[in-house]
Structure 1
């Protein structure tokens, strides 16, 4: 564990903010959240690294009605510098953490109390979500809720932890709720993207047989690198994809479950078509409409589940799994918030394999590199 030392906290910081919908981020100087503004469950985190998610593009385009200006990124990791009164026993200054997204859940609704623990992230009576409705991690400091923030275990770097804050949490839950047993087949539609390449590894480490489906040369290559047993090019058309998957799964009628990570118009329909009768399709991608032919639901009894993020317990389970199994997060690193424009341009040009990550605090990354992740 890192030393229990509270560094001097400045009054101002750099932040990359959305100031106009559809426009590039604006790099500016804003106030650091003051110690007096921390609620009982709040943590002030000195951000080491923050990454870009597809949802960031949606936020910048105004889909969530975010009140502007707002600091971007809901995927961040760093070091705790201040704790609220109720969180001080769970976290201390110096602890390495993966930032939580929901801020101030109500604590009284069914999702927060009587419902299953793996539904805690569905509380709707929240102040908002970090980097979506509230200031996020493209800044030197960020305010997060301790109840949804996860310790980063030894052996996992902050550069890897940042993308796991959304991409990792989301695909981990998707793989888990698919409900498969060791040796069963899982298809991932969009397997070579930021979530997909992590999901392939999660599924493999859980003993599943993985069919990776992608429509990009780079995505197909990354799917193969991550160890998918079967890699299928979606560009060959639905009929050919279904035929190939049916053949490789040995007459099983298709895969036992599929996860949809691609937001193309026909992705969900493809997932259903290559899944066996009575199988499960987990929808994670967020297109404006999810289109599925009624025949899949009525005549083949395909069960559709939606999924988002992780509960706090699932998140801790995921981080331990990442450490234990050496899950790799493929990162494209941009050093300094000043390079946020380059990062976004690279993402929009399709040049990023895996996750695009900006190093916000080089000192934290350097310290990890010299001592090893988690070393005191």
Structure 2
């Protein structure tokens, strides 16, 4: 297959902040280092971070213009470098792989790469998704909104048999992010977990994962379309409209169901905050039991205001969560395949990426994906 590659490819480029993408052709990239793999992109999913990047709200990113966005995509291996590493030869030409943004060309020698103690982000020594020296596809270097992309063999994962590229792509950021956040909750089957933003891209996947993990699940949202999507999944999770139901009332309802006699034992064991909203954060904190865990995934530009009373008097732990390790990425893909966890998505052709972005701003929930097999 490598002998029949085109000389050029099409890609959607950001050429400056707060501007539409520009579709143009450039020379086909070539694998140059041992870990490099060239893949033909089959599907590329749009993330909220793509919007944040395009708005200039990620200091230091991108490193230069023009740049190709997308850090959650999937494709087919088409070639290696002339002297591939052992990790690269794990993937043969024709293999289907999923690609998260982190971490392209991890240094292999920093504190993280030598072996983090965090079980969620820990990989074998020599590679870490938290490597401070690594690049990230779609952020600091070109990503998946193009027909081909160079990826690091250590960052990718094989796509399970029967899972399509359109199904796999949203799992490369939204899927692994919410899966890792659930792991960071450190709760047991039968415990209660809440997901703020339950009808969004991460949230609706989180509802499915959490239920399949055996948790009692509460999904919260505050917009019609995401609430409709969350309800339509029929996971068995309790879905709450934050506009009409007060958090304190929800706590009382859960306490009654659980037989709780004291306010400290009523509510959730953990909550995951997905929206960049102080109201969502406050609502989620109110839902927690004493000693509960609040896992923050979102990163609003001005941060969150945190009540010291919650932290001190109620012993609430506040934990940040970004992504999981490559090991956890593979675990998440296998879990998704085994339990039928899928993103509700809408597909667009590559040359309709700007239409996809317009659709994103309508706030319909779920995921929006560029399907390379589509033609306008």
TM surpasses 0.5: yes
Q: Is 1:307 the counterpart of 2:351 in the alignment?
A: no
1:170 to 160, 177, 181: 177
| Closer, same or farther: CA 28–220 of 1 in aligned 2, 3 Å | same
Matched residue of 1:342: which SS? Answer: helix
Asked whether 1:17 is paired with 2:16, we answer no
Counterpart in the other structure of 1:354? 366
Q: Indicate if the aligned counterparts of 2:270 and 2:292 stay in contact, CA closer than 8 A.
A: yes
Question: How far apart, in 1, do the equivalents of 2:258 and 2:195 lie?
Answer: 14
Matches within 5 A, 1:58-137: 58-64=52-58, 65-66=61-62, 67-84=64-81, 85-86=84-85, 87-101=87-101, 102-116=103-117, 118-119=120-121, 120-126=128-134, 128-137=135-144
Per-residue deviation at 1:100? 3.2
TM-score scaled to structure 2, two decimals? 0.90
Tell me: CA distance 1:216–1:245, structure 2 relative to 1, closer, same or farther (3 Å): farther
- 1:186 aligns to what SS in structure 2? strand
Give the aligned partner of residue 160 of structure 2. 153
Task: Please give the alpha-carbon distance, in whole angstroms, between the structure 2 residues aligned to 1:306 and 1:250.
Answer: 31
Q: Name the SS for the 2:90 alignment partner.
A: coil
Conservation of the 8 A alpha-carbon contact between 2:69 and 2:142 = yes
Alignment check: 8 A CA contact 1:169 1:318 kept: yes
- Is the CA contact (8 Å cut-off) linking 2:251 and 2:266 kept in structure 1? no
Q: What does residue range 308-323 of structure 1 map to in structure 2 within 5 Å? A: 308-323=322-337
Distance 1:282 1:73 in 2: 25
Which residue of the partner structure matches residue 53 of structure 1?
A: 47
Q: Which runs of 4+ in 1 moved over 6 A?
A: none
Q: Residue deviations 1:205-260, cap 9 Å, x none?
A: 11111000000111112222221421111113444454445445543421110001
Q: Residue 89 of structure 1 aligns to a residue in which SS?
A: helix
1:324 equivalent in structure 2: 338
Per-residue deviation, 1:309: 1.4
State the alpha-carbon separation in 2 of the partners of residues 7 and 255 from structure 1.
57
Contact 1:74 1:136 in 2 (8 A): yes
Instruction: State the 1:269 CA deviation.
Output: 2.1
- Contact 1:49–1:360 under 8 Å retained in 2: yes
User: What per-residue deviation string (whole Å, max 9, x for no partner) do you get for residues 23-51 of structure 1?
Assistant: 1111111221124xx21111111000111
Q: Indicate the residue corresponding to 2:125 in structure 1.
A: none
Distance 1:41 1:113 in 2: 18
Q: Distance in 1 between the 2:158 and 2:304 partners? A: 35
- In structure 2, the residue matched to 1:31 is 27
Partner of 2:173, secondary structure, is helix
Q: Is the contact made by 1:6 and 1:94 (CA closer than 8 Å) also made in structure 2?
A: no
Q: Which runs of 5+ in 1 are unaligned?
A: 364-376
Counterpart secondary structure, 2:129: helix
Counterpart contact for 2:30–2:38, Cα < 8 Å: no
CA distance in 1, matches of 2:162, 2:339: 11
SS in 2 for 1:310: coil
CA distance in 2, matches of 1:256, 1:121: 28
Show the counterpart of 2:242.
234
Residue deviations 1:94-125, cap 9 Å, x none?
A: 00000132211111122112223632321111
Contact 2:17–2:54, Cα closer than 8 Å, also in 1: yes
Distance 1:108 1:228 in 2: 46
Separation of aligned partners in 1, 2:239 and 2:129? 33
> In the alignment, what sits opposite 2:221?
214
Deviations 1:39-82 (A, max 9, x none): 11111110001111000000101122312111011111010111
Given the superposition, is the C-alpha separation of residues 247 and 6 from structure 1 closer, same or farther in structure 2, using an over 3 Å criterion?
A: farther
Contact 1:185-1:249 within 8 A present in 2 as well: no
Quick one: which of 203, 206, 218 aligns to 2:210? Answer: 203
1:39–1:54 distance in 2 versus 1, CA, 3 Å = same
Change in Cα spacing, 1:41 to 1:353, as seen in structure 2 (3 Å) is same
